[in-house]
Homo-oligomer: A and B are copies of this chain.
């Protein structure tokens, strides 16, 4: 590349999170960084967009090769604001979303605001990488994530892979030296089963907290992201968005066509 790469950074934990600072650390050695991140925590926001409310934009910080905006919408709104407004006359070379506080392996890719933003970024023709650390703590240790994030960004920026290209990267909790390596994987099959915690407010109205457990449908499958994370590997799942279930189309046609 002759010009300096332009990298968009976003996340779902909000512009003030430790994971966003770690994502900026990942991206900065490679070029100019523009951050458009949510004003507030947007965990679990999936690929949600804001259709019925106005959205407020604030410039938070401006220094050499780094501009940070906070935007009052969802992670996907942030990506759209960047590509379709703030950077609409520039070429963005890469989107980095994260680093998320918590795993986005398996079916979490569907609920994740981090991955919602990464997927949206890949729609604009540049590679997009979602980075997540399997640790929900606000003060999580992102050292290993930054190290592996930089390595992956360097390899992807220099490569000529077909587009759209979107990667769901998950890093196991632990110090860098404890990580056994990186493997390209597939999304683990399995689903969440919830337990609602029921409470009553002072006026007797019942309310609920959503909480649950992930049920892994294939815990022994060594090519899945969950298995790799449980065994100390960084997992990389390439993500695409054609949800058509081609295996069902013929049977369905026989049933529904007259």
Q: How many copies of the chain does the oligomer comprise?
A: 2
Q: Are A187 and B256 in contact (CB under 8 A)?
A: no
Chain B: minimal CB distance from A244 (Å): 4
CA of A80 to CA of B195 in the docked complex: distance in angstroms?
9
* Chain-B contact segment, one of A17-25, A26-34, A103-111, A170-178: A103-111
Q: Are B242 and A210 in contact (CB under 8 A)?
A: no
Q: Which residues of B contact A56 (CB under 8 A)?
A: 205-208
Q: Which residues of B contact A240 (CB under 8 A)?
A: 243-245, 247-248
Interface size class of A (residues with CB under 8 A): 35 or more
Q: Are B46 and A248 in contact (CB under 8 A)?
A: no
A interface residues with partner B (beta carbon < 8 Å) = 41, 43-52, 54-57, 73, 76-77, 80-81, 84-85, 107, 109-111, 113, 116, 119, 123, 152, 155-156, 159, 161-162, 165-168, 181-184, 186-187, 189, 191-196, 199, 205-210, 212, 236-249, 251-253, 255-258
